[in-house]
């Protein structure tokens, strides 16, 4: 369902005393609590468009239809974004958000809103009150559109203003360990370019957050890379503690619940880079812009070299066999022109590493063009 957030609906009462009302008098419809929550979140995000990057807490008063900054309240909030090539000249971006618990209210049931606006965009003017008939017609068209495009990743327009991306979610965030921040993950899809990204969250259970609604909005400037060029480059390098092959791949709305499903693989990111001896170190990325031979096959080699950090600096820690991606190692039917992905990947049991801090140096070389690029990944192996 699509919600428009043009403003709050005021209840209309008789001018006379309540006791003078007739029995058949009818009060206006009660405001929808979810709509009030969305309106407050969208209003706070509009205010954040005037602010500098960072996290700001706002107090929303649905009755007074006001949103004001609350400098007395601070909350720690982070946004981590990863990037991969999507379809239709878009870039697919799964992202992870962390929020300090107990500040906005008790509980992990959140209303969350994400907006990507062109870098430097100003807040919109207040939209006019919605036309109920027009809103119903739009909802009907949205349902038809979702039926036709069920396999496509699409946002949910709730602000009444067109943005490159916006979406609203009702979700339950997951604590990252005892006493850790609340976290959740979702995706967006936009064209390459510069954006101001906004993530707004509020505790959606009114009983868990009495008083004015507190809304935290995190603003960050993003540079979304262009993987549709012919440049030799790689996607985000994913550091994971688990990569699981799937037989059923989610799409459309289902994909939002599993944003780190890439192809037929579900990646479980190690967001803090910490591993226990029972886990597996998995590194995963996609290589773009390779030069193809007459056989339409690439010739790429991926070198991996772990370094262990110590009091006197770094030292090489064992050797790892390189990964060769060429006509001899790739499937016979592999064809980049058909959308097949060239994947760099490494899977090593963490038990092969001693406890300590590490840097994994990655070098990707395109033998046909002579080009190469490097990337480092850091991780920690906990003691037993």
Tell whether the model's pLDDT for residue 150 goes beyond 90.
no
Q: What is the pLDDT of residue 20?
A: 40
pLDDT digits (tens, 9 = 90+) for 304-324: 999 999 998 999 998 899 999
| The predicted structure's pLDDT at residue 26 | 53
Residue 61 to residue 68: CA distance in whole angstroms: 9
- Distance between CA atoms of residues 26 and 32, nearest Å: 17
Q: How far apart are CA 192 and CA 198, in angstroms?
A: 17
Please state, as a whole number, how many other Cβ atoms lie within 10 Å of the Cβ of residue 215. Answer: 28
Is residue 161 predicted with pLDDT exceeding 50? yes
Q: What is the pLDDT of residue 143?
A: 54
- 55 pLDDT exceeds 90? yes
Using an 8 Å Cβ cutoff, are 195 and 117 in contact?
Answer: yes
| Cα–Cα separations (whole angstroms), residue 297 to 94, 325, 354 | 29, 9, 38
pLDDT in tens, 77-116: 999 999 999 988 999 999 999 999 988 888 888 999 999 9
Task: Give the predicted TM-score (pTM) of the model.
Answer: 0.84
The answer to whether residues 282 and 288 touch, using CB atoms and an 8 Å cutoff, is no
Scored b (16 or more CB within 10 A) or e, 91-118 reads bbbbbbbbbbbebbbebbebbbbbbbbe
pLDDT of 9 reads 28
3-state secondary structure of 112: strand
The per-residue pLDDT for range 109-135, each reduced to its tens digit, is: 899 999 999 999 999 876 555 555 655
The whole-number average pLDDT for the span 287-300 is 93
Residues 6 or more apart whose Cβ sits within 8 Å of residue 289: 229, 230, 231, 232, 233
For 13-53, the DSSP string reads --SS-GGG--TT--PPPPPPHHHHHHHHHHHHHHHHTTSPS
Taken as a whole, the chain contains a residue count of 384
């Amino acid at each position: 369902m699509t919600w428009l957030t043009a403003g709050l609906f005021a209840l209309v009462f008789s001018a006379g005393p309540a006791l003078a009302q007739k029995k058949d008098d009818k009060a206006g419809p009660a405001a929808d609590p979810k709509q009030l929550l969305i309106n407050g979140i969208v209003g706070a995000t509009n205010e954040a468009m005037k602010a500098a990057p960072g996290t700001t807490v706002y107090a929303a008063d649905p009755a007074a239809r006001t949103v004001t900054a609350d400098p007395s309240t601070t909350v720690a909030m982070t946004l981590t974004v990863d990037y991969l090539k999507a379809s239709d000249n878009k870039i697919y971006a799964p992202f992870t958000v962390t929020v300090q618990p107990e500040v906005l209210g008790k509980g992990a049931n959140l209303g969350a809103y994400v907006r990507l606006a062109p870098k430097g965009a100003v807040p919109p003017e207040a939209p006019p009150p919605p036309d109920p008939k027009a809103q119903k017609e739009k909802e009907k068209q949205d349902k038809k559109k979702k039926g036709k495009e069920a396999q496509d990743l699409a946002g949910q327009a709730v602000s009444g203003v067109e943005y490159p991306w916006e979406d609203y979610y009702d979700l339950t965030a997951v604590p990252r360990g005892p006493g850790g921040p609340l976290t959740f993950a979702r995706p967006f899809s936009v064209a390459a370019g510069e954006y101001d990204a906004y993530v707004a969250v509020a505790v959606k259970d009114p009983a868990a957050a009495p008083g004015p609604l507190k809304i935290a909005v995190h603003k960050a400037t993003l540079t979304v890379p262009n993987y549709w060029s012919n440049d030799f480059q790689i996607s985000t390098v994913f550091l994971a503690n688990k990569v699981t092959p799937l037989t059923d791949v989610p799409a459309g709305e289902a994909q939002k619940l599993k944003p780190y499903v890439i192809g037929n693989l579900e990646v479980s990111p190690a967001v803090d880079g910490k591993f226990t001896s029972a886990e597996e170190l998995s590194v995963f990325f996609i290589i773009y812009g390779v030069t193809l031979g007459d056989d339409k096959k690439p010739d790429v080699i991926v070198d991996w070299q772990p370094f262990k950090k110590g009091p006197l600096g770094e030292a090489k820690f064992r050797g790892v066999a390189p990964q060769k991606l060429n006509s001899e190692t790739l499937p016979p039917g592999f064809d980049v022109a058909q959308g097949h992905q060239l994947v760099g990947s490494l899977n090593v049991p963490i038990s092969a590493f001693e406890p300590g801090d590490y840097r994994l140096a990655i070098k990707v070389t395109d033998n046909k063009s002579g080009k190469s690029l490097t990337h480092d990944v850091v991780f920690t192996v906990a003691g037993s």
